[in-house]
A and B are shown apart, each in its own frame.
Chain A
Amino acid sequence: MMRFLPRDRMLWLAAPALLYLAFFYAMPLIYLLGRSVIGPNGPTLSLFASFFADEYNWRVIGNTLRIALLVTLVSLIIGYPVALALARARGLVQVMLLTAIILPLSVGVVVKAFAWQIVLRRDGTIAKLLVATGIWDEPQRLLFTEPGLVIGAANVFLPFMILPIYSVVKLIDPRLSEAGATLGASPFYRFRKIILPLTMPGLISGMAFVFSLSVSMFVIPSLLMGDRFQTLATLTGRSFLLMRNEALGSATAVVLLVLAVSIVVGSTILSRRIGRTA
């Protein structure tokens, strides 16, 4: 006789969410996947063969990965110190910082992208600032350039980097760093050997969040880069919405899906392994 342990029974708590996802999310996804591998004469991979044969599509994959990596990197560099500061902040300062990080999430991404259009223009805030400080000789346009896209996207996704790191950092006993100091470790050595390894699970989940968000973003590159620059997500959108090419759209969607899933699964495994040895 099998008996259920309380822990096993707890797993049923996930059942409603699983059913919901299976019905409304997995089924359309399977349909999409089917569209990409079933041709008029039965199962075929010809769609992918022709997709990968086109050099333009490789450039699209390159664009997608490059932008996603840069956005993740910029969010990490800006977000990590913020998360450390947030965990050490107390009282009103902490509340204000948290509000400043979470509140922008309530502003729609379309609104934010339009706002960034204004900021990145030739006569926008950034150009004016850089000219005024003498870094630029004359105003330049950041809008419709890759740096502009990275800056804008990193801003939108920053909370998804900060919050997972913050939730890990605030659990770290501040005495650990003090103990390191009394053992003769310099602040940098303490950061490298204590803070960094202990925050690694948070770093990995933050990076997984931002990477999967930026690998699949659609609105931000559409508004900040325009049509000449395509990523897998914008190409998927164009295929379905503009070109009415459902076959191409299915193929790009599946490539994007495989990329995103492998990144998320890979980082989860990595963070679990680090969590075990850490």
Chain B
Amino acid sequence: MNPAPFLDIRKASKDFGSGPVLDGVDLAVTRGEFISLLGPSGCGKTTLLRIIAGLAAADGGSVTLDGQEISRLPPHRRDVGVVFQNYALFPHLTVAENIAFGLRAKGAPAAEIAATVERFLTLIHMAAFADRSVRALSGGQQQRVAVARALATKPKLLLLDEPFSALDRKLRETMQIDLRRLLRELGTTAIFVTHDQDEALIMSDRIAVMNRGQIEQLDTPEAIYARPATPFALEFVGLSTRIAGTVTGYDPDGFVMVETALGAIRGRGRFEVGSPVLLGVRPERIRFGTEGGANVAAPVLTDIVFQGARIQAHFASPDQRPVMIETSGALPAGLAPGIPVTISFAVEDTIAYPLAAA
């Protein structure tokens, strides 16, 4: 029997008047876990975050944190820290005063405040900036101060709302790893909202893929990448080659057989004969040439895209969906746009999803 989850969200729902933004979301988080809410803008991830923090009221459902139902508590009694997207640092206070704010509000003794502030200034490598105005800081420094300010009160749960979105790419990558390490050292349970799949894959213990007010899949980054549960998860997390077709039957091994514009393709899934499906496969799982027992097709090459460590080959798509190969090896000789190229991909790597008749 599993112990009760540290954070337990049941049937959280919210409607701002133009359809549900959150549609009965359940989410259970273990102590010390780092969970990402991943989805496009408008999927409800920020609303869910604000409901957990108490900054927005849910229409229904409950939030339980560390055994205590907190749904009715105002934000300042919840012990849930938040790092805001624009950091929301107090412009009239210095770096040290920003970090001290929560402890002062709670009436902590002066000695404890001073020690905590100093510890966090060291942790975020900003001891030299203690008495600076936060307005004089760079974006990356502001972000670190915002994290330190939220952690200084030792919240039971830390919520982060796209804290890297304002930073440039290079800085973002080092800061993601730094933040991950800091939270692990402190043993902080964290929920992280992002629309950036790379960020979610790098940082999370588990990812909740959100779409239209619901969690479509909640699993480890590896599992979500290898076995996306829905066409949305397939499309949103990582690149994918996708092609639509109609189920014609099953082969002796139990794989579903689908007739597509690229010929007959087999994959995993259970569907009635005749139903429309979408087949998806990761581009790096596709190879040039034929391979025994694998799906084989010969689409027309349209473009080769060099990306440094990786090279993508794009093919003419019979139904406007992307068909591509991603490889880190050398391309076969004689590839040229306009020529059909034989490609193959394992049946196990091909997943069939129900396709709503458009």
Contacts and interface: CB of A to CB of B under 8 A. Distances in A.
Interface of A: 173, 175-176, 178-187, 189, 193-194, 197-198, 277-278
Nearest to B79: A184
Given A173-B86, A178-B75, A185 B105 contact: yes
A198 B76 CA distance: 21
Interface string B142-154: 0000000110010
A193 B105 CA distance: 9
B165 to A, nearest CB: 15
A175 B146 CA distance: 13
Interface of B: 53-55, 74-82, 84, 86, 88-92, 101-102, 104-106, 149-150, 153, 155
Contact of A182 (B55, B90, B104): B55
Given A189-B105, A193-B101, A193-B105, A181 B55 contact: yes
18 contacts: A178-B55, A178-B75, A178-B82, A178-B84, A180-B90, A182-B54, A182-B75, A182-B78, A183-B76, A183-B150, A184-B102, A185-B105, A193-B104, A194-B90, A197-B92, A198-B91, A277-B92, A278-B91
A278 B92 contact: yes
Given A173-B86, A175-B84, A178-B55, A184 B91 contact: no
Nearest to B108: A184
A180 B105 contact: yes
A178 B88 contact: yes
B88 A184 contact: no
B84 A183 contact: no
B144 to A, nearest CB: 15
Nearest to A175: B88
Contacts of B150: 182-183
A184 B106 contact: yes
A183 to B, nearest CB: 3
A170 to B, nearest CB: 15
Contact of A183 (B54, B91, B102): B102
B193 to A, nearest CB: 14
Contacts of A277: 92
Given A178-B55, A181-B74, A184-B106, 11 more contacts: A173-B86, A176-B88, A178-B84, A178-B88, A179-B84, A181-B55, A181-B75, A182-B80, A182-B82, A184-B77, A184-B105
A184 B54 CA distance: 12
A184 B90 contact: no
B76 A182 contact: yes
B96 to A, nearest CB: 15
A268 to B, nearest CB: 19
B88 A183 contact: no
Contacts of A193: 101, 104-105
A278 B91 CA distance: 7
Nearest to A174: B88
Contacts of B80: 182
B153 A183 contact: yes
Nearest first, the 8 A-B pairs at minimum CB distance are A183-B102, A185-B105, A175-B88, A181-B75, A278-B92, A179-B88, A182-B82, A181-B76
A118 to B, nearest CB: 46
B76 A184 contact: yes
A182 B56 CA distance: 12
A179 B74 CA distance: 13
A182 B153 CA distance: 10
A176 B90 CA distance: 7
B101 A183 contact: yes
Contacts of A197: 92
A278 B134 CA distance: 11
Contacts of A185: 76, 101-102, 105
A179 to B, nearest CB: 4
B88 A173 contact: yes
Nearest to B50: A178
A193 B90 CA distance: 10
A110 B256 CA distance: 89
Contacts of B54: 181-182
Which of B53, B55, B75, B155 is the most central at the interface, judged by chain A CB atoms within 10 Å of its CB? Answer: B75
Contacts of B92: 197-198, 277-278
Which of B55, B76, B77, B86 is the most central at the interface, judged by chain A CB atoms within 10 Å of its CB? Answer: B76
A186 B105 contact: yes
A95 to B, nearest CB: 21
Nearest to B85: A175
A78 B54 CA distance: 31
Contacts of A176: 88, 90-91
Contacts of A173: 86, 88
Which of A182, A194, A277 is the most central at the interface, judged by chain B CB atoms within 10 Å of its CB? Answer: A182
A180 B79 CA distance: 12
Contacts of B74: 181
Contact of A175 (B76, B86, B102, B153): B86
B338 to A, nearest CB: 54
A243 to B, nearest CB: 51
A183 B81 CA distance: 6
B286 to A, nearest CB: 45
A187 B75 CA distance: 10
A179 B82 contact: yes
A82 B80 CA distance: 31
A186 to B, nearest CB: 6
A187 B84 CA distance: 19
